[in-house]
Amino acid sequence: MSIQTRYIPVNAFLAYLQFEKRYSIHTITAYTNDLVQFFDFIETQYDSIPLPQITGSMVRTWLASMKETELTGKTLNRKISSLKSFFKYQIQQGGLSKSPMETVISPKVRKRLPAFVAEQDMEQLLLNLSFAEGWKGLTEKLVIQLFYATGMRLSELIGCKETQLDASKRIIKVLGKGNKERILPISEALAKDLSNYIKEKPEAAIGNPILFINENGKSLQPRAVYTFVKFYLSQVTTLQKKSPHILRHSFATHLMNNGADLNAVKELLGHASLAATQVYTHNTIEKLKEVFAKAHPKA
C-alpha cells in the first residue's frame, strides 16, 4: 500500500522509500507527516513556489515556527533529516542542482542513556513472578522471554512466523528494518518452550502462520503487547518507561556489561551502523565507575 499526498514530488519520494529503500510503513508515515507539514507551510506562506526557489531561510523559518509549538530538539532533528533526504533525492533525480538544507544546522540534542531493567529484576520477573493462567499467561511469558533473549523489536516479534524458528539449531530468523534478515541464537530451554508452544496452539489458530497468537487464534496486536509488558515490568521495576523497547535495551546493556563484543551486539540488534550500538557502552562505563567507587580504597 503506497501513501499518497497532494504534492507530486513528495509522492515520488515516498514511492522510492517504499519500493527501493524498503522502509517500514511506520518510517514512511513519519516522512510523510514531516514533508506534508513543511509543504503546507510553504504553500501558505509563499504561495506554492517551485522546488528550486525554496531556500534555507524558508526552511529555518518553518523550523522556528515548529519551536513555538514546543517540539523537542529530537523531533526537530527528525524533521530536518526528512527534508535533507527529500532534497538529496531531488538532486539525484535531476530536479535540483543544490539543496536548501546546506545552510540548515541541526540543533544539538543531549543524548540520554538507554534505560534498562537490572539483571536481578529480570531474573525475578522470569523466575518468580506469577503470570496469568492458561494460554494468555503462557503467551505473555514467552513473549517477554523472547524479547529479553534476543533484543527483538516489537514489530519483528509480532510479525514472526512459526517457520522462522528452527528449534533443532536453536536459532530464530528475524526480518528487520529494510527487510534485512538476521539470525538470532536462543537457549535450548527457550527453543524447546517455543516448539511446545507451537504444538499446543488452539484449534482457532489453524491457518495462522504467525508464531504468537491470542486465545482466539489471532495475531497479537502492538497495543496489547505493550500493555501486558508494561504490567509485568511494573511488578519488578520503578523505571518510568516500561515498554517492549526497554527489554531490547536491557538485552543489549546486559550483554555489554558481561563483556560481549560491540560488533556482535550490533549484529544481534540489527543496527545499520556501529554508532547506534555504541550508546550501550556508556552504561558499561557507568557500571565500571560504580564498581570502582565501591571497591577502591581511594575512590
Residue 165: strand, helix, or coil: strand
Q: Which residues of 207-233 are buried (b: 16+ CB within 10 A; e: fewer)?
A: eeebbbbbeeeebbeeeebeebbeebb
Please give the mean pLDDT across all residues of the chain: 91
- Looking at residue 296, its pLDDT comes to 75
Distance (Å, whole) CA 126 – CA 141: 8
pLDDT of 7 = 94
Q: Is 211 helix (H, G, I), strand (E, B) or coil?
A: coil
> What are the cell numbers at 285?
562505563
pLDDT at residue 74, rounded to an integer: 83
Distance CA 96, CA 253 (A): 44
Taking each helix axis from N to C end, the angle separating 134-150 and 222-233, rounded to the nearest 10 degrees, works out to: 80
pLDDT tens track for 37-56? 999 999 999 988 999 999 99
Q: Which letter does DSSP use for residue 236 in this model?
A: T
pLDDT for res 189: 96
Q: How far is CA 7 from CA 196, 199, 218, in A?
A: 51, 50, 38
pLDDT at site 155? 94
Give the pLDDT of residue 286: 67
Q: What's the confidence (pLDDT) of residue 177?
A: 81
At residue 299 the predicted structure's pLDDT band, cuts being 50, 70 and 90, is low
Sheet holding 181-185, edge to edge: 165-166, 171-175, 181-185
By annotation, the residues acting in catalysis are: 153, 177, 245, 248, 271, 280
Domains of the chain listed by start with CATH number: 8-103 (1.10.150.130), 119-294 (1.10.443.10)
- Helix ranges (H only) for 220-273 are 222-233, 244-257, 262-269
Q: How far apart are CA 175 and CA 157, in angstroms?
A: 9
Of 95-109, 185-199, 222-236, where does mean pLDDT reach its minimum? 95-109
Mean pLDDT of 2-27: 92
Contact 5, 11 (CB under 8 A): yes
For 21-31, the pLDDT digits (tens) are 988 888 999 99
Note the pLDDT of residue 166: 97
With a cut of 90, say whether residue 159 has pLDDT above it: yes
- Going from the C-alpha of 10 to that of each of 32, 33, 98, 285, the distances in angstroms are 8, 11, 17, 44
Q: What is the pLDDT of residue 152?
A: 96
pLDDT of residue 252: 94
Interval 203-213: pLDDT, tens? 999 999 999 99
Question: Where do the DSSP E strands lie in the chain?
Answer: 165-166, 171-175, 181-185
> Is residue 14 pLDDT above 90, yes or no?
yes
The pLDDT > 90 percentage for the chain reads: 74
Highest mean predicted confidence (pLDDT) among 169-178, 244-253, 288-297: 244-253
pLDDT confidence bin for 67, thresholds 50/70/90: confident
